[in-house]
Amino acid sequence: MTNPFLTPWTTAFDLPPFADISDADFKPAFEAGLVEGRAAIKAIAENTDAPTFENTIEAMENCEALLSKVLGVFYGIAGADSNEIREELQRDFGPILADYSSEITANTALFERIETLWNTREDLGLNDEQMRVLMLTRRSFVRSGAQLSHDDKDRMAKIKSRLSTLGTEFSQNLLGDESDWFMALEDADLVGLPDFVIDAMKSAGAAKKLDGPCLTTSRSLFVPFLQFSPRRDLREAVFHAWKSRGARGKDNDNRGHAAEILKLREERAKLLGYESFATYKLETQMAKTPDAVRKLLMEVWTPAKAAAEKDGAILEQMLHADGYTGPLEPWDWRYYSEKRRKIEHDLDEAELKPYLQLDRMIEAAFACATRLFGLAFEPLDATLYHEDVRGWNVTRDGEHIAVFMGDYFARASKRSGAWCTAMRSQKKLGGDTKPIVLNVCNFAKASGGKPNLLSYDDARTLFHEFGHALHQMLSDVTYESISGTSVARDFVELPSQLYEHWLEVPEVLQEFATHADTGEAMPADMLKRLLDAQTYDQGYTTVGYVASALTDLNFHDGDAPADPMQSQAETLDQLGMPKATTMFHEAPHFQHVFAGDGYSCGYYSYMWSEVMDADAFDAFKETGPFDAKTANLLKTHILSAGGSADPEQLYTAFRGRMPGPEAMLKGRGLA
């Protein structure tokens, strides 16, 4: 049979023909893509004509069409619906791609053409977008080792190849660890749990082929269990299972991987002349330096720690009132915090959750995009890569803009967390290519056809990832290399975190927060109590995040630690981490940092972007949450611009100035 990747697609919107694609198609198509790419790069490098932007930079932009086609689909599926064949392909593809990339950046003739263009850039008549692409292309080559000696280039290639292997193994080890652990529960273990938690655990049990409910380390299960279960022994057991992921001393143990990754990153940075990996990585970000990152995080840490300690003392009194002696423990915090929230804000998640149906929250995210940016969403009648995945044709004024897919439910084949990816990115070079964008989440799936219910945090996650999707779908640039989310890591979270704010707009919840059984809108007093409680427990939440971000920074700022767990412990000790709080991510399961290079020394990015998103939403508070003029400024200067200009320039064009942290601290209740 013909390999689907090697023939033109005749599907609507050039959607991948998922029903025709088998796992056996990926490798031969991948290999064909490499042959095509290598031939194209060779032709560019050996072109006897004088280098021009068109015959060098634009030619490079267009030289990997088949490879991009294959990898966009493969990696989109592999993270969301893994199997043994796809895991093996990931292990094979990673180092091959790293070697391929090293071949290109080590190509002396190719770099000489780029350098010639850079040195004569003022005479080339380039527009701003082309100048940006030229700068980024040259910078990428230099930071990949194009100016190194032959021996150092060889060593750099080996480092990149090994890092690719380690990152893939880290992610797969964690997925294996998470899939292996579960706790079957008896009826006596379910006392005190709301029906929606029990129902989700029954669905998890069915997925494990058990006769009854079970508990896993999926966030959509263990968090509500910690919130509601009065069984302190079971809360402790699931907490330790979650905390020990990737560090259980078995084949899936990630501690050695983390140590080797940090050492290789340090060597990579020093080959390029940098003091540390942190100085190398942050040079191209908005933060620029480790000191700037540390300054922001410590400005937030001090009030967050004080708030957490104050809250912890109250929760410990509640623990003692229940007859327990000793200190409040991490597996106690969520349980007593949920009790306290009900007392102080009259909010009960079991009462709240039926108003947050998944389908209605998807409608809410779409409706906000319609009012802000004129987008319309029509369900697609197409076979996608998994039965749970849904698709929509996204249009504006009747014109096709993008395909959006949502893959919302947790399953054993899906890595943990939530993310946005593009199976195909927007570009205009070589034809008007529209994006295919995918949101992946890990929400608990209800059993028996019951409505799928979200926590308020889940709903925020849905809006967050849809903000990333808008960044991809509204992209309007010529060159794929600067399309969509191809921006500085500490700027890329701005659109996603900003979009979360529309979930807090009262009129949005008034319309879309409807009860799963009665269809009635959320009562006005409940809505007010929900919005009034937005800063509740922010000390705990902020401490968990900042501790993780500072641990990540300390991993990379200076000599690489031989033992990342010891380095992590030293960071927490220096901070005086409140005992009953916990990091968001510990080293053996810190996928942001170790499963790839994207967020390495970059976990701080969420807070750096939050400084901007809080200030950006203030612009809408000043004009109205759906003000057309402000929305158009956001679309023009942020969402459509991709990486076409420096992030500070883009933000200043939208807001008129750069912000300070005041709005962010106020938004977290820490001002």
Q: Measured between alpha carbons, how far is 285 from 282 in angstroms, rounded to an integer?
A: 5
Question: H/E/C letters for each residue in 576-636?
Answer: CCCCCCCCCCCHHHCHHHHCCCCCCCCCCHHHHHHHHHHHHHHHHHHHCCCCHHHHHHHHH
Structure tokens at 459: 């709903």
For β-strands 214-215 and 375-379, DSSP reports them as unpaired
Q: Which residues pair with 402 in a beta bridge?
A: 394
Q: Measured between alpha carbons, how far is 86 from 92 in angstroms, rounded to an integer?
A: 10
Which H or E run contains 406?
Answer: strand 399-409
Which among 516, 527, 467, 475 is positioned nearest to 493, based on CA atoms? 467
Structure tokens at 77: 């599926």
Which among 361, 355, 318 is positioned nearest to 340, based on CA atoms? 318
What residues have CB less than 8 Å from 5, skipping those under 6 apart? 21, 25, 26, 29, 32, 33, 66, 69, 70, 73
Burial of 395 (0-12, 13-18, 19+ CB in 10 A): middle
Q: Which amino acid is at 652?
A: T
- Residue 613 CB coordination number (10 Å): 24
Which among 557, 539, 561, 563 is positioned nearest to 669, based on CA atoms? 539
Dihedral Cα 481, 482, 483, 489, nearest 10 deg: 110
Residue 526 has, within 13 A of its CA and on its CB side, a CA count of: 20
For β-strands 375-379 and 390-396, DSSP reports them as antiparallel
Terminal-residue alpha carbon distance, the chain: 64
Do residues 655 and 619 touch, judged by C-beta distance below 8 A? Answer: yes
465 included as an active-site residue: yes
Which one of 61, 64, 349, 465 is the catalytic residue?
Answer: 465
Would you tell me the crossing angle of helices 358-373 and 456-473 to the nearest 10 degrees?
A: 40
- Residue 9 CB coordination number (10 Å): 14
Structure tokens at 131: 């100048």
Which H or E run contains 566?
Answer: helix 564-575
Structure tokens at 585: 């991510």
**Which of the 8 DSSP states describes residue 447?**
S
Question: Cα-flanking dihedrals φ and ψ of residue 86, to 5°?
Answer: -65, -35
- DSSP notation for 128-155: HHHHHHHHHHHHHHHHTTTTS-HHHHHH
Q: Which residues pair with 433 in a beta bridge?
A: 427
Q: Measured between alpha carbons, how far is 580 from 612 in angstroms, rounded to an integer?
A: 31
Q: Measured between alpha carbons, how far is 308 from 575 in angstroms, rounded to an integer?
A: 13
Residues with active-site annotation = 465
